[in-house]
Amino acid sequence: MNPLLAPFQYEFMIQALLVGALVGAVCAILSCFLVLKGWSLMGDAVSHAVLPGIVLAYLIGLPLAVGAFFSGLLCATATGFIKDHSRVKEDTAMGIVFTGLFAFGLVLFTKIETDVHLNHILFGSLLGISTEDMIQTAIVAGITLVVVLLWRKDLLLFCFDPGHARSIGLNTKRLYYILLSLLAATVVASLQAVGIILVIAMLITPGCTAYLLTDRFHHMLGIATGSAVLSCLSGVYISYFLNGSTAGCIVLFQSMLFVLAMIFAPKHGLLVQHFLKAEKSAS
C-alpha cells in the first residue's frame, strides 16, 4: 500500500476526518459573525467557562454537553449583565467572568473523582472520539448550522450595525442571546475535536483569514469554511505521520493559512500594501 494512503485504512482516522471537517465548518461560519461583531474574546471566555458545567453535569448524571452548554451560556449572560449594570466594560467583564468560572471548574475537578480525563477536556481527543460523542457533535453542529442559516441576515445586520437593526424593528436583545447560544453550542460541538483551550483558534482564525481575502460577507463565509475544513482534514492527516497532537496540527495549519493570507491577500496583504506605498513614494 502507498504509505501516503496508510491513514485511510483505519476507521478511527476516517471518523476523525469526518468529525473534524464538520466541526471546522460550524466553527468557521460562526467565526465570521464573531470577527465582524468583535467578539473574539467572547469565544475565548465561553470556551473556558464550560469546565464547571462539565464536572457538575457528570455529578448529576446529565450528558456533559448539557452542562457545558448552560455553563457557557451563563458566562455570556453574566458578562452582559455586568456590562449593563456597572461601569465595567464588556472585555473586562469577560475576563472576570470566564477566569472565575474556569478556576471554579478546576477546583471542582481536583476535588471530585471522575473518569473524565482532564487532558481530553482541555486538549480534545479527536482520534479517540466515541460513536456516542460523534452523534452528539453532529446533532449540535447540525442545529447550529440550521439556526445560523435561518437567522443569517438578521444576525449579519446585528453584527454590522446594531443601531440600524434596532431602528428597523429587529429585536436586538433576542439576536444578542441567539448569537450567544450559538456560540455556546459551537463550543460544545468542538470540545471533542480540539478541547477547551484550542477551540478559541477554531472560532477566530478562519474568520480572520477570510476577512483579509474578501470584503463580501457571503464570500467570507465560503472562504472561512473552506479554510477551516482544509485545516481540519490536513491537520488530522499530518498528525498521523508526525504522531503529534491532532488538535495542535489543525490549529497550526489554520495559523499557516492566516499568515499566507496576511502576506499575499490581493487587496489587504502586506505585499500589496508595500507596493502601494512604494508607488506613492515614487510618485
Q: Residue 62: which region, alpha, beta or left (left: phi > 0; alpha: psi -120 to 50)?
A: beta
Confidence (pTM): 0.86
| Alpha carbon 32 to its chain's center | 10
Q: Look up cell 504509505; give the residue.
A: 3
pLDDT digits (tens, 9 = 90+) for 209-222: 999 999 899 899 99
Q: Show the low-confidence residues of the chain (pLDDT under 50).
A: none
Q: Are 98 and 49 within 8 A, CB to CB?
A: yes
pLDDT of residue 116: 57
Taking a C-beta distance cutoff of 8 angstroms, is the pair 198, 248 a contact? yes
Q: Where are the domains of the chain?
A: 25-282
* CATH T-level fold of 25-282: ABC transporter involved in vitamin B12 uptake, BtuC (1.10.3470)
Q: What is the pLDDT of residue 278?
A: 83
What's phi and psi for 36, nearest 5 deg? -65, -40
Q: What is the pLDDT of residues 93-140, one digit of tens each?
A: 888 888 898 899 888 878 776 665 566 676 777 877 777 778 878 888
